Amino acid sequence: MATYQVALGCDHGGLEIKNAIRQALEADGVSFVDLGTYTADSVDYPVYAHKVCEAVQNGEATFGILCCGTGIGMSIAANKHKGIRAAVLSDPFSAEMTRRHNDANVLCLGGRVIDSERAVSLAKLFLSTPFDGGRHEKRIAMLERD
């Protein structure tokens, strides 16, 4: 059983892959909260980025997963939040390395870039990869600005 909690969020462009990830988390017994959006109606991605990042900041979730058309808007919005390290990616090497080296706590994916199968495999890899710590600790501390 996973020891982490996940907060999910998306806009209309990321709805399909967010739902696929949600299903996979459910099947794996991972604890999650789905903060929307829930329909294909057009919505503003920053709203959902902020909800998910607040859940990570207040400890309700260990990790956030944000899906929009490209993942880019979500990552820009997420990285405005103190303590949030959001990575937008579409390949497994980056999914692993952003956990190992950046201690990323929010994964951003693009529903118009990758399909649901890849989204699920990237999410599982991201969630299961630990931070390496060591020399990377100092660099993580250097990321924060007032």
Interface residues toward ligand RB5, by CB under 6 A: 11, 13, 45, 68-70, 72-73
C-beta nearest to ligand RB5: residue: 73
Half-sphere exposure of 89 (CA within 13 A, CB side): 22
Rounded least distance, CB 70 to ligand RB5, Å: 4
Nearer to ligand RB5, 10 or 30 (CB): 10
Continuous segment of H or E residues that includes residue 85: none
Outline where DSSP puts E strands in the chain.
5-10, 31-34, 63-68, 86-88, 106-110
Rounded least distance, CB 46 to ligand RB5, Å: 9
Nearer to ligand RB5, 30 or 119 (CB): 119
**Calpha distance 76→27 (Å, rounded):** 30
Sign of torsion over alpha carbons 140, 57, 18, 30: positive
Rounded least distance, CB 19 to ligand RB5, Å: 15
Is 101 designated active site?
Answer: yes
Is 68 designated active site?
Answer: yes
Nearer to ligand RB5, 62 or 69 (CB): 69
Nearer to ligand RB5, 72 or 97 (CB): 72
The angle at the Cα of 30, spanning 29 to 31, to the nearest 5 degrees, equals 115
Rounded least distance, CB 135 to ligand RB5, Å: 33
In the set 10, 68, 81, 108, the catalytic residue is 68
Strand pairing report for 86-88 and 31-34: unpaired
**Calpha distance 82→42 (Å, rounded):** 28
Catalytic residues: 68, 101
